[in-house]
């Protein structure tokens, strides 16, 4: 019997609690997967470790304490008369002539450039389907030890070797690892 003074829970409040618990579990799982994937691609960095001298708390950066941005180094690459930004980079000890391509998810190497940096073409597995300006093609994923522009060095850069591209492309798997970059007024500015 249900009356105004009854202490029996109603069915609707039980369903609401069940629904809320399910939502919490689902969103926690989604957040965990997103964090795991971001950590795998290097976009999430753990907080700084505590130091014994600071009494267990991480030491703040001097620039943050002073309220001033830390100094950065910059590189500038002007576009040529066709609008393309051409960049010579040291890749695993070999010079590679890149064209900047912010629409490319990965650094893309021609087969000749891949061989120049020491990648054995016989060992490549063309397991990726790539969409290019010339249509679909196959690509072989590789990991570059380091891509260097002057003093700037980015290690463990994901890349792909594609047989039928005319030039190697400096894509987002490199650019996304920089402190910042921007294309303005026909000049690429990289800060690191």
3-state SS record for the chain: CCCCCCCCCCHHHHHHHHHHHHHHHHHHHHHHHHHHHHHHCCCCCCCCCCCHHHCCCCCCCHHHHHCCCCCCCEEEEECCCCCCCEEEEEECCEEEEEEECCCCCCEEECHHHHHHCCCCHHHCCCCEEEEECCEEEEEEEEEEEEEEECCEEEEEEEEEEECCCCCEEECHHHHCCCCEEEEECCEEEEEC
pLDDT of the residue at 132: 76
Q: Which of 22-36, 53-67, 80-94 has the lowest mean pLDDT?
A: 53-67
pLDDT classification of 24: cutoffs 50, 70, 90: low
Average pLDDT over residues 40-52: 43
pLDDT, residue 69, reads: 54
Mean pLDDT on 55-65? 40
Q: What is the pLDDT of residue 14?
A: 67
The CA-to-CA distance between both ends of the chain, in Å, stands at 72
Query: Average pLDDT, stretch 35-64?
Result: 44
Torsion sign over Cα 10, 16, 19, 24: negative
Q: Token digits for 93?
A: 């000890």
Q: What is the pLDDT of residue 133?
A: 73
Residue pair 175/181 in contact by the 8 Å Cβ criterion: yes
Q: What confidence score (pLDDT) does residue 21 get?
A: 67
Question: pLDDT category, 34, cuts 50, 70, 90?
Answer: low
**What pLDDT is stored for residue 84 in this prediction?**
95
Tell me what pLDDT residue 15 has.
Answer: 73
Q: What is the mean pLDDT of the chain?
A: 78
pLDDT digits (tens, 9 = 90+) for 148-169: 999 999 999 999 999 888 999 9
**Which tokens hold the place of 154?**
């980015």
- Average pLDDT over every residue of 184-190: 94
pLDDT in tens, 98-143: 999 999 999 999 999 999 999 999 999 999 998 877 788 899 999 9
**0.75 exceeded by the pTM?**
no
Tell the burial category of 147 from Cβ atoms under 10 Å away from its Cβ (0-12, 13-18, 19+): buried
Q: Which of residues 71 and 159 earns the better pLDDT score? A: 159
């Amino acid at each position: 019997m249900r009356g105004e003074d009854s202490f029996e829970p109603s069915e609707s409040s039980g369903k609401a609690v069940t629904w809320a618990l399910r939502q919490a579990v689902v969103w926690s799982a989604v957040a965990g997967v997103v964090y795991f994937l971001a950590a795998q691609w290097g976009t999430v960095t753990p907080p700084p470790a505590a130091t014994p001298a600071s009494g267990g708390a991480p030491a703040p950066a001097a620039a943050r304490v002073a309220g001033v941005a830390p100094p950065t180094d910059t590189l500038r690459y002007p576009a040529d008369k066709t609008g393309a930004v051409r960049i010579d980079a040291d890749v695993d000890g070999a010079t590679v002539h890149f064209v900047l391509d912010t629409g490319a998810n990965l650094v893309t190497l021609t087969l000749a450039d891949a061989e120049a940096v020491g990648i054995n073409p016989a060992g490549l597995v063309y397991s990726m389907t790539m969409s290019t300006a010339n249509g679909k093609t196959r690509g072989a994923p590789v990991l570059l030890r380091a891509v260097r522009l002057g003093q700037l060095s980015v290690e463990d850069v994901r890349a792909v070797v594609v047989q039928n591209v005319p030039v190697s492309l400096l894509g987002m798997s490199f650019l996304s690892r920089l402190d910042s970059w921007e294309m303005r007024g026909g000049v690429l500015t990289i800060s690191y």
